[in-house]
Amino acid sequence: MEPAAPPPPSPPPAAAPGSAELVCAQGRNLKAVLCQRCGSRVLLPGAATFARRELLLPAMRKKAAAAAAGGGGDVVREHWLVRDMFSFENVGFTRDVGNVKFLVCADCEAGPIGWHCLDDKDSFYVALERVAHE
C-alpha cells in the first residue's frame, strides 16, 4: 500500500464533506491538530496542507504495544501533510519499520497518528481520522 516514490506536487485537493470545515481556501488546516487520547497539541493552525494519499497505518495503540504487535491496520486516505518536521508542536517517531517511521503522540505515545517514509525527508503525513481538531 505504501508507494515507493512520493507523489508529484499538485494543487490542494478539495476536502471531503466531513473535513471541509477543517481546510481553508489555501488547503491548510484551519484548526489546531490534537492527540485524540490526551489532547496534546500536535500542530498549530496553518502548519499543514490537506492531502489525499492511500497509506496503511497499523491499528491505534500505545507505542510499546504497537512494537510488540504485528500486522493489521487501516487504509487511511485523508491526511495533513507537513513538509518540515520542526512544524510539529509535539510528535514522536517509532523505530524504523522497513523504510518507514510512524508518528505518535510524544506525550502519551498513542498512535500511530501518521506516517513518514525515510526516502522522502520532507513529507510527514498525519491521518485526519486519528487526530482531534480544536
Question: What's the confidence (pLDDT) of residue 13?
Answer: 45
Least confident residue range of 3-7, 13-17, 44-48, 92-96:
13-17
Would the pTM count as exceeding 0.75?
yes
pLDDT tens for each residue of 82-127: 999 999 999 999 999 999 999 999 999 999 999 999 999 999 999 9
The domains found in the chain, sorted by start residue, are 23-133 (2.170.150.10)
Q: Taking residues 43-65, what's their average pLDDT?
A: 86
What's the pLDDT band for 4 if we cut at 50, 70, 90?
A: low
Residue 8 pLDDT more than 50? no
pLDDT tens for each residue of 30-48: 999 999 999 999 999 999 9
Name the grid cell of 58.
497499523
Question: What's the confidence (pLDDT) of residue 16?
Answer: 47
- What is the residue-averaged pLDDT of the chain? 85
Name the grid cell of 87.
512544524
- Return the closest-CA partner of residue 79 out of 109, 105, 48: 48
Question: What's the confidence (pLDDT) of residue 20?
Answer: 77
